[in-house]
Amino acid sequence: MIATSYRLFSLIASMLLTVLSMQTQAEQVTNSVIAISQLGSFKHQFKTVHQVDSMEIEQVLGEVSFKPKSSFKVQLPFTPQQISFLYNPGVKVSKGQKVARIEGPEVHHFLEEIDASKSIFLKSKKHLESVKNYANSKTIKSAEWLDINKTYLQAKLSFEHLSHALQQLAIDKNGDIFIISPSNGQLKYTNEQSPYLFEIIPSHNVFVKSSLLASTAKNVNSFKTEDNCILKVENVDETISRYKQTVWSSFDSSCELKLGQQLLLTPIVLIEGIKVPHQSLFELNNKSYVAVKRGQEINLVKVIIIGNENDSYIVQSDNLTPQAEVLSSFVSIAQGLFLGLGE
């Protein structure tokens, strides 16, 4: 029993010594250059690396939205008893197009109010013109002339205000009354608490809104949707909230995105890097390396991993250039040779 325990202890101790010996060796890269012939009869392969100027990073959520204060808000000087929209939210409408039919006594009262306001305005204007000569000849008191002017201006402003509201309406031959769109754009309903009946969002003000870490936002050039639609970053808000900035991206009509739609976006950042196959990269002393072919030799080149894309790493290195050839098979053999093992 004691002999068995001793043999087990000796085995464990031997293994530990072996591991420690390997670690000691790993801390000392004895060769930075090896000959290709040292790989022996192994069928080694090299792959050409390529420069990349962009890479994809972790996905974020986005939403089709519009910038604050960029919509046309429609409001009337009265509240219709009933409003019936002719189109669903998000539908594109043209300037002057009928959007909704309005009904109720308030509507007809408004039309009567316009007629009355027009009549008062015309009468006050006529009265002003009739006494104007008397005012010039000073045969009318100044106070009386000021009152006449005041009455005229008040009537004029009231009529112009109502006329402006009337320009938002259209009356068909059947007497039905409609609200028309003030601009080309997408229709957006408002909630019950809003003083506005609806909004029109001009198409050029519709963007995909996303939120990215401030350190990343400045480097993002575009986004890709799950349907491979490419969104171009137009601008980034200067304000930062909880370490993040809002990014606004435009999209082509072929993307067929709808207002309010939520999306999973892949940010694409601008970089200066080189794409290296996964199998070509190895570690020594917790640092990343590749084995680069130069003539009949293989050089050890340190790299820094900045990204991971499909079956490749995106790396940066002062000593790795585009079109270089890196070892892509039996890399562990080369790794051992760089450590001075198996020579």
% of the chain surpassing 90 pLDDT: 64
Residue recorded with tokens 């490749």: 312
Instruction: Give per-residue pLDDT as tens, 289-321.
Output: 999 999 999 999 999 999 888 899 999 999 999
Compute the distance between CA of residue 38 and CA of residue 337 in angstroms, rounded to an integer.
Answer: 8
Contact assessment for residue 160 and residue 121, using Cβ atoms and an 8 Å cutoff? no
Instruction: Give per-residue pLDDT as tens, 87-97.
Output: 999 999 999 99
Give the pLDDT band (50/70/90) at residue 21: low
Instruction: Give per-residue pLDDT as tens, 225-242.
Output: 999 999 999 999 999 998
pLDDT above 50 for 260: yes
pLDDT value, residue 274:
96
Total-model pTM: 0.66
CA angle 55, 56, 58 (to 5 degrees): 140
Q: Which two tokens stand for residue 256?
A: 């067929």
- Identify the structural domains of the chain with CATH numbers, from first to last: 30-54+272-338 (2.40.420.20), 60-68+204-271 (2.40.30), 72-201 (no CATH)
Compute the distance between CA of residue 154 and CA of residue 90 in angstroms, rounded to an integer.
Answer: 40
pLDDT value, residue 131:
84
pLDDT value, residue 323:
94
Give the pLDDT band (50/70/90) at residue 12: very low
Written in H, E and C, the secondary structure of 24-93 is: HHHCCCCCCEEEHHHHCCCCCCEEECEEEEEEECCCEEEEEEECCCCCEEECCCCCCCEEEECCCCCCEE
Give the pLDDT band (50/70/90) at residue 20: very low
